[in-house]
Amino acid sequence: MMKMSRGLFITLEGPDGCGKTTQALALERELTQEGKRVLLTREPGGTKLGEAVREMLLSPESGLMSPRTEMLLYAASRAQHVDEVIRPQLAAGACVISDRFIDSSLVYQGIGLSLGVAEVLAVNLAATGGLMPDLTIVLCLDAPQARERLHKKLKQGRMAIDRIESRDLAYQEKVAAGYRSICQMFPERVVLIDANAAPESITRGIMNQIHQLERGERP
Ligand code: TYD
């Protein structure tokens, strides 16, 4: 019998409002059309337990939460997600697309809350048992632009603001700059794409990266 190869693990990242959820859906469609089995998932969440942790993390009613508690809760949700969903799906040959993963913690907690990238990475590698994405796409957007998109959505009643999104502009600036640093730290895995480009052209750009990865052309 032919040995089934492990599926690709792709993550989408960027500041709130960067359009990664739209891209995740577009990628699911494109990859499915190519005949691949695709699993689209998200963090925090992705499992029943993870969704409960998500509620705790994002509800403004959680009130004051210490930075380390916040970092550990994201890591706990991730550990469950990896063991229950991501690893089994990859092993079965599916292409897994996750809307946010480890880099969100490196940026929002490691850089945004000043816990340190090295410390947050170490905790998260323990949480994921060392699993890292094959390819990470960061949709980059400046903090003021991200704010503007968020306010537009709020005005249209398309969302309610969560505990993380309600942080000040200085925090959002750290997040936007943090994603740029992450790209420099992991150039072999992380690709930066301008979130201001047309959605279809962003999808094409990401698909190109995936095809390069499949052909073994990425570093
Ligand atoms: P997300 O689901 O992308 O937000 P939305 O659906 O409202 O666009 O992410 C929820 C929030 O959690 C987002 O503000 C980023 C934050 N977050 C972290 O701070 N650390 C993490 O590790 C993850 C996965 C998310």
Q: How far apart are CA 1 and CA 9, in angstroms?
A: 24
Q: Is the CB of 12 under 6 A from ligand 1?
A: no
- Please report, for the domain that includes residue 172, its CATH number: 3.40.50.300
Tally the domains of the chain.
Answer: 1
How many Cα atoms are found within 13 Å in the side-chain-facing hemisphere of 165? 19
Residue with tokens 């897994």: 96
pLDDT digits (tens, 9 = 90+) for 179-218: 999 999 999 999 999 999 999 999 999 999 999 999 988 7
Assigned domain for 148 exists: yes
- Has residue 1 been placed in a domain? no
Ligand 1 pocket member 102 (CB < 6 A): no
Is residue 114, in this structure, part of any structural domain at all? yes
Return the best residue to mutate from 11, 12, 16, 182 for the ligand 1 pocket (most ligand atoms within 8 A of CB). 16
pLDDT in tens, 17-27: 899 999 999 99
Question: What's the pTM?
Answer: 0.94
Render pLDDT for 89-147 as a digit per residue (tens, 0 to 9).
999 999 999 999 999 999 999 999 999 999 999 999 999 999 999 999 999 998 888 88
Alpha carbon of 130 to ligand 1 centroid (Å): 21
C-alpha dist (Å) from residue 102 to 45, 158, 198: 13, 27, 26
Instruction: Report whether pLDDT(2) > 70.
Output: no
Lowest mean pLDDT among 62-66, 79-83, 182-186, 199-203: 62-66
Measured CA to CA, the distance from residue 122 to residue 209 in angstroms comes to 27
List the domain range (segments joined by +) for residue 128.
9-215
Inside any domain, residue 121: yes
CA-wise closest residue to 186 among 114, 129, 117: 117
Q: How confident is the model at residue 3 (pLDDT cuts 50, 70, 90)?
A: low
Is 83 in contact with 76 (CB distance < 8 Å)? no
Rounded to the nearest whole angstrom, what is the distance from the C-alpha of residue 162 to the centroid of ligand 1? Answer: 9
